[in-house]
Structure 1
Amino acid sequence: DITYLVDERLREKEFGVFDRLTRVGIQAKYPEQAEARTVLGKFYHRPPGGESWCDVILRLRSVIDTITRDYRRERVLVVAHQVTVLCFRYLLERMTEEEILGIDHAQEVANCSVTSYEFAPNLGKRGKLALCHFNFVAPLEESGAEVTTKPDVPVAAK
């Protein structure tokens, strides 16, 4: 029997006025924000009505605390989108800003990909989570399904 719950802290990064815009669209429609993003960097820039990666990381610190407290020694499945997945990696693997942005720059997080960790008791003072898979899509490829990085289809506001 599987119990699941929806947690608003696991939502994708709020893009604010940048939502559904490409880099070119942002530069055309919000040139001052494009410049601010260039100066601050994507890790720290918060578009109007949106979040920075740091805002997402703050939310996820709380999620990790909840999981650690309420689900200790249990298997946990988290379903999330690209920035959330990458920010989890940043926290769990204690990465630097440069390291996680390098991973983000190198590849898109594929739709339906799996990122997994296992507890490694020999790491650190009391053990820690070790990355097993990132962006793993073999089950999709084996079934012949197309692996995409396309955004969701636009839907009406809720």
Structure 2
Amino acid sequence: MKKYTPEQKAQALKLLEQDGATSASVARTMGIPASTVRGWASEKAAAPSNVLSIEEMRERAQRAVEATPTAKLLRLKNHFTEKQYELLNRHATDLQALRNKALQATIQGDAVMMKATASLIAVMIHAQKHEREIYNIKPGTEHEILKLGMNRQQS
């Protein structure tokens, strides 16, 4: 008699729960004798309904862990770090684009464009300063935030 893994048994029972599925159809799909699938189904039907499978217990434990204040705090911290990271990247990209325009205007000798880009850079730096205050980004901490942002835990 061949031994089957608990995963195969769980998969067969899951397939058996689908509409129109029979022991024979599940057995053909999985390459398992129909009598084995019927036996598993009988065992499951005879088992008390209040007994949880290992997978159900694992899922419940995972939900319980995710519902803890520590997990919620970690998700919030990761979200905040992600927002700081995105903000700093956007600031760098925006400023680089304006600096490139200013350099291009300087090379072309376009005084009007040079003055306009210089004004835009000053306004953008001022606006970015306020955004950084909102997200509690202190001067000199950008490198650490970017490092944290790239290495943050995925939730």
TM-score category (smaller protein) = under 0.3
Comparing both chains, which one has the higher relative contact order based on Cα–Cα distances under 8 Å and sequence gaps of 6 or more?
Answer: 2
Q: Which has the higher strand share?
A: 1
Q: TM-score, normalised by structure 1?
A: 0.25
**Superposition TM-score, scaled by structure 2 size:** 0.25
User: Could you say which structure has the higher helix fraction?
Assistant: 2
> Rg: which structure is higher?
2
